[in-house]
Amino acid sequence: MSMKAGRKRSFDKQEVLDTAMRLFWENGFHGTALSDLTARTGLNKPSLYAAFGNKEQLFKASMDHYTQQYGSPLLNKLLEPETAPLEMRLKAYMLATAQLVTDPQLPKGCMIVNSSCEAASETIPDEISKKLDEIKKNHNEFFIDFFKKEQAQGKLNKKYNVKQITSYINAVISGMGVLASSGASIKSLNDIIDIAVTNIFNE
């Protein structure tokens, strides 16, 4: 009597990646053990590594997933509606960011900001540091290009230095992520946004 070969367990790769992303988002790279990943995803180590590679590669994939699921939709707030004043669109982007980093259904803060803070205080693999630098560089370049286009279209006064505005916004957004990780309320972040936007556009 022959034995039928056991079927390989199927799983939703995106669902597993989302679970891993939330674990890394909440606990960081060092704070997330392989046993945590296997327990929460339901995959054993060989299956997890076969699908995503090692822990470092899974972390990098999780950062990309975070950027696609949360970062890119936020940036769309800057682009739509095109007819809205720049000040209104920028404020909508920052308010949406505040909602994300304080969402009770998600880990606190911003995954990229949290990971950057971890990288500043602990030794993390070079490939993760490079990935963080790449994400931040792309984000920075997006804003510089965005503000240059706004100036070209006459929607932003050319007296403004786009690199300085970009650095200022990045500092405010990163600060909100850190505050949210410490339990800051969305109201307190919205107050910060009001001041930040006023500082940019009011002489």
Measured CA to CA, the distance from residue 132 to residue 99 in angstroms comes to 23
Measured CA to CA, the distance from residue 110 to residue 173 in angstroms comes to 9
- Which residue would you say has higher pLDDT here, 111 or 82? 111
Measured CA to CA, the distance from residue 164 to residue 118 in angstroms comes to 26
| pLDDT at position 69 | 95
Measured CA to CA, the distance from residue 143 to residue 17 in angstroms comes to 28
- Per CATH, the number for 60-201 is 1.10.357.10
Read off the pLDDT of each residue in 127-144 and give the average, rounded to a whole number.
95
Residue 160, SS3? coil
| pLDDT at position 2 | 39
Residue 77 has pLDDT above 60, yes or no: yes
Q: Taking a C-beta distance cutoff of 8 angstroms, is the pair 110, 177 a contact?
A: yes
Mean pLDDT over each residue of the chain, to the nearest integer = 92
Residue 46 has pLDDT above 80, yes or no: yes
> In this prediction, what percent of the chain has a pLDDT beyond 70?
95
Residue 6 has pLDDT above 50, yes or no: no
Cβ atoms < 10 Å from Cβ of 104? 6
| pLDDT at position 203 | 57
| pLDDT at position 9 | 53
Read off the pLDDT of each residue in 70-98 and give the average, rounded to a whole number.
94
Residue 58 has pLDDT above 60, yes or no: yes
| pLDDT at position 12 | 85
pLDDT bin (cut points 50, 70, 90) of residue 8 is very low
Read off the pLDDT of each residue in 87-107 and give the average, rounded to a whole number.
96
Residue 67 Rama label (left phi>0; alpha psi -120 to 50; beta): alpha
Residue 20 has pLDDT above 70, yes or no: yes
Cis peptide before 81 (omega within 30 of 0): yes
Measured CA to CA, the distance from residue 14 to residue 18 in angstroms comes to 6
Cβ atoms < 10 Å from Cβ of 94? 24
Q: What is the pTM of this model?
A: 0.89
Measured CA to CA, the distance from residue 11 to residue 88 in angstroms comes to 42
